[in-house]
């Protein structure tokens, strides 16, 4: 076990994937000699060279379009969108080309492209640097949308995403880049070897996990809000409410089974994410829970998230983002039913 930050874990995961497969290439703005804005690719240009770690022009649509062409020629491109708000110039390439090529070709063409996106808020950034656009891409069939919440998952899931034959949006919670945790580097290696490695990796990265067991309320989160969810569970537990915390890990596809098992047992569910609650991932999950576990529920499913407004300036972002008080208030409300 090695202690490392989430950024360091992603770096080590990228390095392992590049060592394993010479067809894995990295592309993005300033990812080469600089190592990226957050230094996630630090040292990779030096060790693998400019043919495999490529700085690109400031042209997100061109970056994604180039990656699509390279994937069609047998490469496995991993591209970085420097900040979440910069992904929109590439939206057309992602949703009409990358997501649909496998279906359009009746399965003849696969596009194993990974799009790394530092996303969400909490770092006091300027406009267009703190977006949570996951619902826009989860709505598009043909894309996988995943987000790690721990260094171990970051290390494992980036390699699983690269091994998958499907296009993957890999959302990295930028405010968690410096969170430290223990990482076991050897446990993922066996999964990524052998005839069925791609299928196993794809299935594993799409599964949710029970991060904390409880019996009174199910609290569902992913990526940037997982630390908040665990903190809320700790505080609620001190007051006598047993909270089970589920880390979705995958926004699309949703691991409904893991959530439903917990919801049927506790009868109460609160969903937390930084994306706006209006039309957000929590709305889809809430609908599934209500449809498939209605008679097990003791209270309506509640959501805590961003507001239906543009992301505010840095001085106001903590009024916009889910807070401990807002999450605990939701837990109290479902417990009163």
pLDDT in tens, 72-93: 999 999 999 999 999 999 999 9
Domain with 153 in it: 2-205
User: Is residue 34's pLDDT more than 80?
Assistant: yes
Counting DSSP H helices and E strands in the chain, the numbers are 13, 14
Out of 102, 128, 129, 273, pick the active-site residue.
129
Looking at the structure, do residues 168 and 223 belong to the same domain, yes or no? no
Looking at the structure, do residues 197 and 225 belong to the same domain, yes or no? no
Looking at the structure, do residues 140 and 248 belong to the same domain, yes or no? no
Lookup: tokens for 91: 């939206």
Confirm if 301 and 289 have CB atoms less than 8 A apart.
yes
Looking at the structure, do residues 191 and 287 belong to the same domain, yes or no? no
**Residue pointed to by tokens 């910069």:** 86
Name the domain boundary from 205, 228, 252. 205
Mean confidence (pLDDT) of the chain: 96
pLDDT over 70 percentage in the chain:
100
pLDDT digits (tens, 9 = 90+) for 228-242: 999 999 999 999 999
- The set of residues, in sequence order, having a beta carbon less than 8 Å from that of 31 and lying 6+ positions away, is 40, 41, 44, 45, 53, 54, 55, 80
CATH classification at residue 118:
3.40.50.970
User: Is residue 195's pLDDT more than 80?
Assistant: no
Looking at the structure, do residues 198 and 273 belong to the same domain, yes or no? no
User: Is residue 308's pLDDT more than 80?
Assistant: yes
DSSP type of residue 165: S
Which of 218, 235, 315, 320 lies closest to 271, judged by CA? 218
Looking at the structure, do residues 112 and 75 belong to the same domain, yes or no? yes
Looking at the structure, do residues 19 and 138 belong to the same domain, yes or no? yes
Angle of the 6-20 helix axis to the 151-163 helix axis, nearest 10: 30
Looking at the structure, do residues 57 and 176 belong to the same domain, yes or no? yes
CATH classification at residue 271:
3.40.50.920
Instruction: In whole angstroms, give the CA distance from residue 95 to residue 143.
Output: 8
Name the domain boundary from 168, 190, 205. 205
Confirm if 82 and 28 have CB atoms less than 8 A apart.
yes
Looking at the structure, do residues 217 and 201 belong to the same domain, yes or no? no
**How many domains does the chain divide into?**
2
pLDDT digits (tens, 9 = 90+) for 109-168: 999 999 999 999 999 999 999 999 999 999 999 999 999 999 999 999 999 999 999 999
Catalytic site includes residue 129: yes
Tally Cβ neighbours within 10 Å of residue 48: 20
Cα–Cα distances (Å) from 288 to 137, 143, 256, in that order, read: 19, 20, 7
Looking at the structure, do residues 145 and 280 belong to the same domain, yes or no? no
DSSP type of residue 48: H
- Residue 211: strand, helix, or coil: strand
Cα–Cα distances (Å) from 239 to 191, 236, 244, 322, 328, in that order, read: 41, 5, 15, 21, 11
Q: Identify the pLDDT of residue 129.
A: 94
Name the domain boundary from 161, 187, 205. 205
Q: Identify the pLDDT of residue 146.
A: 98
Strand 269-276 versus strand 217-221 pairing type: parallel
Instruction: In whole angstroms, give the CA distance from residue 84 to residue 242.
Output: 35
Looking at the structure, do residues 129 and 245 belong to the same domain, yes or no? no
Lookup: tokens for 307: 């507001």
**Residue pointed to by tokens 């406009």:** 127
Looking at the structure, do residues 93 and 161 belong to the same domain, yes or no? yes
């Amino acid at each position: 076990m090695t202690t490392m930050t989430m950024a360091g874990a992603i770096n080590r995961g990228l390095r392992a994937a590049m060592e394993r497969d010479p067809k894995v290439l990295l592309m993005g703005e300033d990812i080469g000699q600089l190592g990226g804005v957050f230094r996630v690719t630090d040292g990779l240009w030096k060790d693998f060279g400019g043919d495999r770690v490529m700085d690109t022009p400031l042209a997100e649509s061109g970056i994604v379009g180039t990656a699509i062409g390279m994937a069609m020629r047998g490469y496995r491109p991993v591209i970085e969108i420097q900040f979440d708000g910069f992904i929109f110039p590439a939206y057309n390439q992602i949703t009409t080309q990358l997501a649909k090529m496998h279906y359009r070709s009746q399965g003849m063409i696969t596009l194993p492209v990974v799009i790394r996106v530092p996303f969400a808020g909490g770092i006091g950034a300027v406009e267009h640097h703190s977006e949570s656009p996951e619902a826009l891409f989860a709505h598009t069939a043909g894309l996988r949308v995943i987000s790690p919440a721990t260094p171990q998952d970051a290390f494992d899931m980036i390699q699983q995403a690269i091994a998958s034959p499907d296009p993957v949006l890999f959302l990295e919670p930028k405010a968690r880049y410096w969170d430290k945790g223990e990482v076991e580097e050897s446990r993922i290696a066996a999964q990524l070897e052998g005839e069925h490695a791609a299928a196993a990796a794809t299935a594993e990265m799409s599964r949710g996990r029970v991060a904390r067991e409880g019996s009174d309320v199910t609290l569902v989160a992913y990526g940037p809000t997982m630390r908040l969810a665990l903190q809320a569970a700790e505080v609620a537990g001190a007051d006598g409410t047993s909270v089970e915390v589920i880390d979705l890990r995958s926004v699309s596809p949703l691991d409904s089974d893991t959530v439903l098992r917990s919801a049927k047992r506790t009868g109460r569910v609160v969903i937390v994410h930084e994306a706006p609650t209006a039309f957000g991932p929590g709305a889809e999950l809430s609908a599934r829970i209500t449809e498939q576990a209605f008679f097990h529920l003791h209270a309506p499913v509640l959501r805590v998230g961003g507001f239906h407004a543009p992301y505010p300036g840095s001085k106001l972002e903590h009024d916009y983002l889910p807070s401990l008080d807002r999450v605990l208030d939701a837990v109290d409300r479902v417990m009163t039913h």
